[in-house]
Amino acid sequence: MHEWALAEGVVNTALEIAQNKNLRRVKTILLKVGEIQQIDLEVFDFALKELSKDTILEKAEIKYENFPAYLSCNVCGYKWSFYETFNKLNEEEKEAIHFVPETIHVYIKCPKCGSHDFEITEGRGVFIEDVL
């Protein structure tokens, strides 16, 4: 599952941030999660807690903030919400984007002109806002 790989990256980065801040114990980790990642937060949270055991992150509260995804067509300039087109996909297509977000250009097209040439302007990735 890609939630475990993402969690490993978050834990490693949070430990590095904590070390740079000279923290002896981390109380809170603030995370921003983009819609396109389609993370199963239950699995992701479990993975974060498991991977944080026996570290200064072990008892940290993890706070999540989801942020919406928006796309912009490079051909006609139309801007739309990720879920405007994502909800029209079948389960296999949704799963492909879940595991390999780069495949979004194969399965989603501009609702106005039909082009697959678009940019993800917001809503991708997992970011550590802060480690406290």
**63 and 7 together in one domain:** yes
Spatial separation of the C-alpha atoms in residues 27 and 66, rounded to whole Å: 20
Q: What pTM did the predictor assign?
A: 0.83
**79 and 108 together in one domain:** yes
**38 and 28 together in one domain:** yes
pLDDT, tens digit, for every residue of 60-85?
999 999 999 999 999 999 999 999 99
**58 and 12 together in one domain:** yes
pLDDT, tens digit, for every residue of 35-53?
988 899 999 999 999 999 9
Q: Which residues contact 126 (CB under 8 A, 6 or more apart)?
A: 6, 9, 10, 31, 32, 33, 34, 37, 39
Q: Which two tokens stand for residue 131?
A: 């480690």
Helix (H, G, I), strand (E, B) or coil at 40: coil
Look up tokens 């082009």; give the residue.
Answer: 115
**18 and 52 together in one domain:** yes
> Is residue 82 within 8 Å of residue 70, measured between CB atoms?
yes
43: domain CATH number is 3.30.2320.50
Residue span of the structural domain in which 64 resides = 2-68+123-131
